[in-house]
């Protein structure tokens, strides 16, 4: 079920999704920068202000738009409650993605680096795929035509791949100083993928509310 206000042309809510697309773009910017510091040897200090300022902008947009949604319900009544709850969930999920991008930066700032690791090519490819999910999520939100099956399948495949890595770290005989940062990074990566998936689901499958026949 695609958000009903798109079908009805309700510009009062339309701009919320438009701005959520910009929030996803901001979150991708932070993610790409943070991963660059972690995987290419860039000095985290050179990008830290950018990542944190972007995160603050994402947070400010989420708070402002949630306030606007509350006003919308108070003015228009409960008819759009399912869609509004879906939008609130959407905004929260995007905000969480930004938080996890900042967490990756925190790893780099603490001295973690994967630059000379033997599997760096695999890590970079994994990052490239996840970064691409941001673009696809933005397109899904902008087009509001539902979630393509191929997107669901690739997100599920990546989630399984990341979980396999985490499981492997849990039983690894490598030293903790090598394994723990990787496990933490992949935990953040898994949450980013999951929250992107949840964000587009929230926008395309509004919450069903008892008594709402839409």
Q: Residue ranges of the domains in the chain?
A: 4-204
**pTM of the predicted structure, to 2 decimals:** 0.88
- Could you tell me if 90 and 12 are in contact, meaning their C-beta atoms sit under 8 angstroms apart? no
- Give one DSSP letter per residue of 26-47, joined into a string: HHHHHHHHHHHHHHS---HHHH
pLDDT by residue for the chain (214 residues), tens only, comes to 344 444 444 446 778 888 999 999 999 999 999 999 999 988 999 999 999 999 999 999 999 999 999 888 888 767 778 788 888 999 999 999 999 999 999 999 999 999 989 899 999 999 999 999 999 999 998 886 778 899 999 999 999 999 999 999 999 988 888 899 999 999 999 999 999 999 988 877 755 554 443 4
Chain centroid to Cα 29, Å, comes to 11
| Class for the domain spanning 4-204 | mainly alpha
């Amino acid at each position: 079920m695609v958000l009903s206000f798109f079908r009805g042309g309700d510009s009062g809510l339309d701009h919320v999704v438009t701005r959520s697309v910009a929030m996803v773009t901001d979150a991708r910017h932070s993610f790409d920068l943070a991963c660059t510091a972690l995987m290419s040897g860039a000095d985290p200090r050179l990008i830290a202000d950018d990542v944190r300022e972007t995160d603050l902008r994402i947070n400010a947009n989420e708070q402002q738009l949630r306030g606007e949604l509350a006003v919308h319900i108070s003015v228009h009544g409960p008819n759009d409650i399912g869609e509004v709850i879906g939008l609130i969930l959407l905004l929260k999920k995007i905000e969480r993605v930004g938080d996890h991008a900042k967490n990756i930066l925190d790893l780099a700032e603490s001295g973690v680096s994967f630059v000379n690791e033997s599997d760096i090519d695999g890590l970079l490819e994994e990052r490239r795929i996840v970064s691409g999910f941001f673009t696809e999520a933005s397109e899904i939100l902008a087009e509001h035509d539902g979630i393509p099956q191929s997107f669901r399948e690739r997100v599920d495949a990546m989630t399984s791949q990341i979980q396999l890595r985490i499981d492997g770290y849990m039983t690894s005989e490598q030293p903790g100083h090598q394994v723990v940062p990787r496990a933490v990074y992949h935990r953040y990566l898994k949450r980013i993928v999951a929250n992107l998936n949840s964000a587009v689901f929230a926008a395309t499958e509004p919450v069903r509310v008892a008594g709402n026949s839409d």
